[in-house]
Chains A and B, each alone.
Chain A
């Protein structure tokens, strides 16, 4: 099994749009405040996790590989 991705959700940004939960339901779940939390970082292939991050309308999701190398957002992103 591949080492897990490091996925974080910034709750100052997360608005509960639910794109991540609908794209990768094994990885992301909504908490009581309907904000996204990481349930299982290995719950979907890396490409799906990166798509979920890219689909976040507020850029709340950050993804790094097991070594901590940033995969999303791109380095020059706001």
Chain B
């Protein structure tokens, strides 16, 4: 279905982005959307080209975006919106080179696949604990029981948050999720989350600057001492870590569980060999219904692509959800197939901004899908309509009830 007015937030496009963006991919792969005033890039080849050419496409999107917030916010909340914008403009993901290189290098080592592999036992235990708590009920709502608490548990451990502060951080993490919500009053809880994070983290940075430990805040404190990050950037990026690892992992777990349960053959395969198939299952879940549907760039120069001229300053949205179903790269792309090899999905992006947390996300997905298949082989959807947050960026289920 094509919404006649090209409204990217139309309910049918939020419910099913694949039909609309898939049609664009086949008919007009470099498409100008007049309603949102941006280019939409949908083919796998174009998307990887765009994302790998950071010199052509800037990531400094938020500070250069003149549009009012959408969906609209409450009258009187514009100053809150501006404060959130100032805050988010200092995020690592919003930086271009040369500044980005030093910042990325400062935090990159913490998140390498080798380093993240050492977290697997902690992730496995956290998953087991959450499923232990859920097991007696005979069913659960996946988002609130498993998908939301798991990444917060892991990230707060990486931040070195003591046990007594966990609930406080979890409440702040829940408020940061309003970045991706549609409610008109969302700027208020979001700003509470941001301010709360700044108040909580700032004194920790001072402590870690004096007494470094093995945690992520120590990494940022050292980068501040070396002049790579300002204090504001340290605080912003700690909050970014909490948000980015939370929202996306929630979506990976919910969307992946949904895909597995909607494809009984795939689920049965995983149940037969949870350990052997967890890795490929996670990659296929990432491809089939990615946690992040799309991301933005701004053209840094005039660029030609497929006969269209993208002008310097034009905004561009690249749709991973469409590129992941590109038949030029994926045979039978709408089929959910755990044996797909290679699986060249672009769900973590590419280029210099390739998802910093990708290795951790993969481990979380692998451990969750493996544990679900081992413990609840009779897992099934509990029924009822499924609803998504009204976001063009994130593919976020509001709830996912299951039974076993």
Contacts and interface: CB of A to CB of B under 8 A. Distances in A.
Contact of A58 (B111, B351, B358): B358
Contacts of A73: 114
Interface residues on B, range: 20 to 34
B342 A12 contact: yes
Given A15-B351, A17-B354, A57 B112 contact: yes
A54 B350 contact: no
B386 to A, nearest CB: 31
Contacts of A19: 105, 108
A16 interface: yes
A76 B372 CA distance: 24
Interface residues of A, number: 19
B351 A54 contact: no
B80 to A, nearest CB: 35
Interface in A12-56: 12, 15-19, 22, 33-34, 54-56
A51 B117 CA distance: 16
Contacts of B349: 15
A74 B112 CA distance: 14
Contact of B352 (A17, A33, A56): A17
B113 A59 contact: yes
Contacts of B344: 12
Interface string B312-348: 0000000000000000000000000000001010001
B342 A34 contact: no
B279 interface: yes
A19 B358 CA distance: 15
A77 B114 contact: yes
A54 B354 contact: no
B105 A15 contact: no
Contacts of A55: 108-109, 112
B304 to A, nearest CB: 16
B170 interface: no
A-B pairs, top 10 by smallest CB distance, nearest first, are A34-B52, A15-B350, A16-B52, A12-B342, A17-B354, A15-B354, A16-B351, A59-B113, A18-B352, A54-B114
Given A15-B350, A22-B105, A33-B52, 4 more contacts: A33-B48, A57-B108, A58-B113, A78-B117
